[in-house]
Amino acid sequence: MEIKSGLLYSKDHEWVRVEGEKAYVGITDYAQHALGEIVYVELPSVGDELNAGDVFSVIESVKAASDSYLPVAGKVLEVNEALSDSPQLVNEDPYGSWIVLVEITDKAGLDDLMNEQEYKEFCDKEA
């Protein structure tokens, strides 16, 4: 299982890469392994305003469908359209295949996320 440094992680296995007032969000390597072969990624609409904990995507695999929860409140600025035609990109490169880019509307929510080491310990406990 790969865990990248420089990212923040949620207990729901999403990652966040903060760039100023914006954040890229995707699912972790742990999550994509648990899901198996991903066959569909439902993307939110640009302009959606979501709170931390809101469902921002549904990811379907050959095993099941799983909700993805936005780790930080924000307004959707962009979605990764490449996932519409090639959802397997999440399996191939979960940290390069972001799902959504949001403008962060409540930075305090970032304090609830884990760093690389904390996330590794969290995953070790779940395993």
Per-residue pLDDT reduced to its tens digit, 80-115: 999 999 999 999 999 999 999 999 999 998 999 999
Does residue 113 belong to any structural domain of this protein?
A: no
Q: Is residue 121 part of a domain?
A: no
Query: Phi and psi of 41, rounded to 5°?
Result: -125, 115
- Please check whether residue 115 lies inside any domain of the structure: no
pLDDT at 127 over 90: no
Give the whole-angstrom CA distance, residue 12 versus residue 72.
12
What is the extent of the structural domain holding 35?
A: 8-105
Question: Residue 125: pLDDT above 80?
Answer: yes
Residue 44 is part of a domain; what is its CATH number? 2.40.50.100
What is the pLDDT, as a whole number, of residue 1? 87
The string of pLDDT tens digits covering residues 3-58 is 999 999 999 999 999 999 999 999 999 999 999 999 999 999 999 999 999 999 99
**Residue 126 within a domain:** no
Instruction: Answer yes or no: is 71 within a domain.
Output: yes
pLDDT level of residue 126 (50, 70, 90 thresholds): confident
Does the pTM surpass 0.85? The reply is yes
Q: How many domains does the chain have?
A: 1
Establish if 127 belongs to a structural domain. Answer: no
Residue 2 counted as domain residue: no
